[in-house]
């Protein structure tokens, strides 16, 4: 155990600021705990009332009951540091195997610490535990239980925090001291929400609640959390939001097409948007939105040169001033890392969406400074938790009204000289990373099905990227071997509707899988990290939990799986109409713009509200 922590000892941190009327009752409740191996650490945050005299008088009255000379420690801070500073000072003074929080105006049941330590000793895979609580007031000292949102169950708690909720009471927490040795103290830059943020940093280490009511929360006019009531009830006119949407480049990819849908949804809700990005082939689609687009040639990697970084900040700063921006929404590391630093300087919120597991360059450092973080899938949420970053899950979404069966599906077949009865497998992706392997598998499988099964199958591969030349080579090789043009690499396309309409199935992942379901096309989910197979009602929930095998491993990407599934689909082509309807209905419920844009707006509202306090002077 690090830092020579004393086995079995609980260090109880009590912060005090002007609690002269309540601190004695609080300390009495801790002294009378049934669990006796404790130390009390009181941090007085430069109180201006009579608190210090009350505390010192309590010490004199009760010192004969102290188990040893180290039982009670009083730390008098020379100036007011705020709640987080006071708690952190107490954390550094703790010597116990366990650390417990306790607000100076609240009370604890005499068995609280005993039950919490017993729980952690019985559940060694967990490191933190809270409990249920009741509320009392100065006018009525009898604690009354009211629904408070506290839930039990590690996964349930994670799920609630993943949606921006709260289900753990900070003052009820007891955790292993070695966790503090790992994550450090509270964030001093988040007044009034630093306790919430600290809970999110405990989540990756295993946190649960006891259902027992072991804590009594005092409600009074001067309590610290009273400031949050203004935050919760504060009205925000979303029409006043002015969002700067930031991308590295306007390339053709899942992130960029998601941002396109996001902006459409914001505009439909009368939220003003400006765009800043490097030039790219998708610019024409962004221009159709009617937003101001500012071209900035962002670096390809994180900018470390101070002067160059300053130049980018100055460019963004001018855009923010010209557009009266009050929210910045970033999506990619090179441009987003610059936005985070600039927003902290300008005192406006930076919202950052994490679209996959490839943000290693900022996840352990820069990303923690963003005001709000959005994850697009459960695996991304879990990954961020490993770095102590809580996020809100909002999936990639699309406008389902933009995708449907077209009458001109023969156009693509005619253009590529594909017989109307031939089976077409469509693959759309940026040709890089593990997705290149998926494209290669599709080429080999189509070649083998055509050769071994004598089936007229074609593959259309849409996309660009650093491996386009590699895929083009594989295409030419397969076509030459069979002396037929059945693999078609068509490069990048800004609109895919005609290709969806023309194909018989889509091999893909992520956003492409969602668009395919919106187009009522069967999907074979094969992604960066693994293979899921033909989507049907039995594996739709699994497809979300793995993000169509793109964000989480299910089984390895093996060409034999794809061969088997494609052959099955070809042999049972008519059967998949009903399956496609089921998948489309499921996808519409989860990924349609109308549902998810509301969650984005809530995050914007929260970021603006938090920023009011975050930068309050």
Query: Whole-angstrom Cα distance, residue 500 to residue 428?
Result: 10
Mean pLDDT along residues 19-44:
96
- Confidence band for 294, pLDDT divided at 50, 70 and 90: very high
Supply the pLDDT for residue 307. 84
The residue with greater pLDDT, 337 or 221, is 337
Among the listed residues 517, 291, 578, 507, the one whose alpha carbon sits nearest the alpha carbon of residue 395: 517
Tokens describing residue 573: 């082509």
How is 145-214 classified by DSSP, letter by letter? ---------HHHHHHHHHTT-----GGG-EEEHHHHHHH-S--TTSTTTHHHHHHHHHGGG-EEEEEEEE
Task: List CB contacts of 338: < 8 A, sequence separation 6 or more.
Answer: 298, 303, 309, 312, 313, 316
Reported confidence tier of residue 243, pLDDT bands at 50, 70, 90: very high
Q: Say what the pLDDT of residue 306 is.
A: 83
CA-wise closest residue to 427 among 443, 412, 444: 443
For residues 208 and 160, what is the distance between their CA atoms, to the nearest angstrom? 12
pLDDT for residue 224: 58
Report in angstroms the alpha-carbon separations of 502 from 15, 405, 426, 510, 520.
Answer: 66, 9, 9, 20, 12
Asked whether the CA dihedral 595, 598, 604, 605 is positive or negative, the reply is negative
Q: What is the DSSP letter of 4?
A: G
pLDDT in tens, 374-417: 999 999 999 999 998 999 999 999 999 888 655 555 689 999 99
What would the pLDDT profile of 296-307 be if each residue is shown by its tens digit?
A: 999 999 998 888
Res 449 pLDDT > 50:
yes
pLDDT value, residue 616: 31
| pLDDT tens digits, 552-581 | 877 899 999 999 999 999 999 888 988 999
Instruction: State whether residue 97 is helix, strand or coil.
Output: strand
Phi then psi for residue 515, to 5 deg, are -65, -40
Distance CA 180, CA 201 (A): 10
Average pLDDT over residues 451-460: 97
To which H or E segment does residue 510 belong? helix 510-518
Query: Is a pLDDT exceeding 80 seen at residue 139?
Result: no
Region 97-112 average pLDDT = 96
The pLDDT value recorded for residue 615 is: 33
Q: What is the mean pLDDT of the chain?
A: 91
Which pair of tokens denotes residue 269?
């809700």
Q: What is the DSSP letter of 455?
A: -
SS3 241: coil
Confidence of residue 69 (pLDDT cuts 50, 70, 90): confident
Contact 515, 496 (CB under 8 A): yes
Q: What percent of the chain has pLDDT over 90?
A: 76
pLDDT(152) > 60:
yes
In whole angstroms, what is the distance from residue 326 CA to residue 349 CA? 7
What token pair was written down for 137?
A: 């007031």
Please give the C-alpha separations between residue 13 and each of 7, 75, 92, in angstroms, as whole numbers.
Answer: 17, 11, 10
Q: Find out whether 210 and 152 touch, Cβ atoms under 8 Å.
A: yes
Rg (CA), the chain: 29
Q: What is the mean pLDDT of residues 459-474?
A: 95
pLDDT on residue 261 = 95
- Bigger pLDDT: 475 or 190? 475
* Cβ–Cβ under 8 Å, residues 238 and 604: yes
Tokens 């998926």 sit on residue: 438
Q: Does the pLDDT of residue 217 top 50, yes or no? A: yes
pLDDT at residue number 232 = 31
pLDDT in tens, 485-500: 999 999 999 889 999 9
Q: Nearest-CA neighbor of 282 among 254, 252, 261?
A: 252
Q: ∠ CA(439), CA(549), CA(446), 5° rounding?
A: 30
Helix (H) or strand (E) holding 523: strand 523-526
Does the pLDDT of residue 230 top 50, yes or no? no
349 has a pLDDT exceeding 70: yes
H helix runs in 239-358, sequence order: 254-268, 283-287, 306-323, 333-346
pLDDT at 235: 29
Average pLDDT over residues 569-595: 92
pLDDT at 89 over 90: yes
Task: Check pLDDT > 50 for residue 8.
Answer: yes
Which tokens hold the place of 537?
A: 């009602």
- For residue 221, the model assigns a pLDDT of 61
For residue range 277-292, list pLDDT tens digits in order: 999 999 999 999 999 9
pLDDT in tens, 245-284: 999 999 999 999 999 999 999 999 999 999 999 999 999 9
Q: How far is it, in rounded angstroms, from Cα 426 to Cα 409?
A: 13
Please say whether the beta carbons of 426 and 506 come within 8 A.
yes
Q: pLDDT tier at 228 (50, 70, 90 boundaries)?
A: very low
pLDDT at 54 over 90: yes
Task: Read off the DSSP letter of residue 144.
Answer: B
| pLDDT score of 174 | 98
Q: Looking at residue 241, what is its pLDDT?
A: 92
pTM attached to this predicted model: 0.73
Q: Which residues contact 582 (CB under 8 A, 6 or more apart)?
A: 536, 537
Mean pLDDT across 343-353: 90
Q: Would you state the pLDDT for residue 192? A: 66
Percent of the chain clearing pLDDT 70 (strictly above)? 94
* pLDDT value at 225 more than 60: no
What confidence score (pLDDT) does residue 410 get?
67
């Amino acid at each position: 155990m690090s830092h020579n922590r004393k086995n079995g000892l609980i260090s109880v941190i009590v912060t005090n600021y002007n609690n002269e009327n309540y601190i004695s009752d609080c300390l009495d409740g801790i002294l009378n705990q049934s669990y006796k191996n404790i130390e009390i650490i009181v941090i007085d945050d430069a109180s201006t009332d009579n608190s210090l005299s009350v505390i010192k008088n309590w010490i004199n009255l009760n010192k004969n009951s102290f188990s040893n000379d180290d039982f009670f420690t009083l730390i008098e801070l020379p100036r007011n540091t705020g709640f987080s500073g006071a708690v952190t000072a107490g954390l550094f003074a703790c010597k116990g195997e366990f650390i417990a929080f306790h607000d100076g105006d609240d009370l604890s049941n005499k068995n609280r610490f005993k039950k919490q330590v017993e729980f952690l000793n019985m559940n060694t895979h967990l490191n933190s535990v809270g409990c249920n609580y009741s509320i009392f007031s100065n006018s009525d000292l009898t604690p009354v239980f009211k629904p408070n949102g506290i839930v039990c169950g590690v996964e349930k708690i994670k799920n609630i925090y993943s949606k921006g909720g709260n289900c753990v009471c900070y003052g009820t927490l007891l955790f292993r001291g070695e966790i503090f040795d790992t994550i450090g103290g509270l964030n001093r830059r988040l007044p009034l929400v630093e306790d919430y943020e600290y809970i999110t940093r405990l989540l990756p280490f295993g946190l649960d609640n006891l259902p027992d009511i072991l804590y009594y929360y005092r409600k009074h006019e001067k309590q610290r959390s009273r400031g949050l009531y203004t935050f919760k009830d504060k009205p925000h006119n979303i029409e006043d939001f002015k969002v700067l949407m930031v991308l590295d480049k306007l390339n053709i990819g899942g992130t960029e097409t998601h941002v396109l849908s996001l902006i459409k949804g914001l505009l439909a809700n009368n939220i003003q948007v400006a765009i800043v990005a490097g030039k790219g082939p998708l610019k024409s689609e962004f221009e159709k939105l009617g937003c101001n687009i500012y071209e900035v040639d962002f670096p390809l990697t994180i900018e470390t040169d101070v002067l160059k970084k300053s130049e980018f900040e100055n460019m963004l700063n001018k855009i923010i001033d010209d557009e009266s921006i009050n929210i910045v929404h970033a999506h990619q590391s090179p441009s987003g890392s610059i936005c985070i630093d600039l927003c902290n300087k300008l005192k406006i919120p930076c919202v950052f969406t994490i679209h996959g597991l490839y943000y290693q360059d900022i996840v352990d450092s820069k990303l923690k400074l963003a005001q709000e973080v959005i994850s697009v899938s459960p695996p991304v949420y879990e990954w961020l938790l490993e770095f102590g970053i809580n996020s809100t899950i909002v999936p990639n979404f699309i406008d389902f009204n933009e995708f449907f069966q077209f009458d001109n599906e023969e156009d693509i077949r005619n253009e590529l000289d594909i017989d109307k009865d031939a089976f077409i497998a469509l693959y759309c992706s940026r040709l890089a990373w593990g997705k290149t392997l998926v494209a290669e598998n599709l080429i080999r499988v189509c070649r083998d099905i055509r050769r071994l099964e004598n089936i007229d199958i074609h593959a259309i591969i849409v996309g660009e990227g650093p491996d386009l030349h590699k895929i083009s080579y594989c295409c030419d090789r397969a076509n030459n071997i069979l002396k037929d043009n059945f693999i078609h690499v068509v490069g990048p396309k800004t609109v895919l509707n005609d290709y969806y309409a023309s194909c018989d199935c889509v091999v893909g992942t992520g956003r492409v899988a969602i668009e395919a379901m919106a187009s009522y096309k069967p999907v074979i989910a094969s992604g960066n990290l693994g293979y899921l197979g033909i989507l049907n009602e039995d594996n739709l929930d699994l497809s979300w939990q793995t993000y169509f095998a793109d964000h989480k491993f299910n089984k390895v990407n093996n060409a034999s799986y794809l061969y088997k599934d494609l052959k099955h689909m070809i042999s049972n082509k008519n059967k998949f109409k009903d399956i496609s309807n089921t998948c489309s209905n499921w996808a519409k419920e989860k990924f349609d713009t109308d549902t998810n844009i509301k969650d984005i707006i809530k995050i914007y509202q929260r970021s603006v509200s938090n920023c009011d306090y975050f930068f309050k002077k």
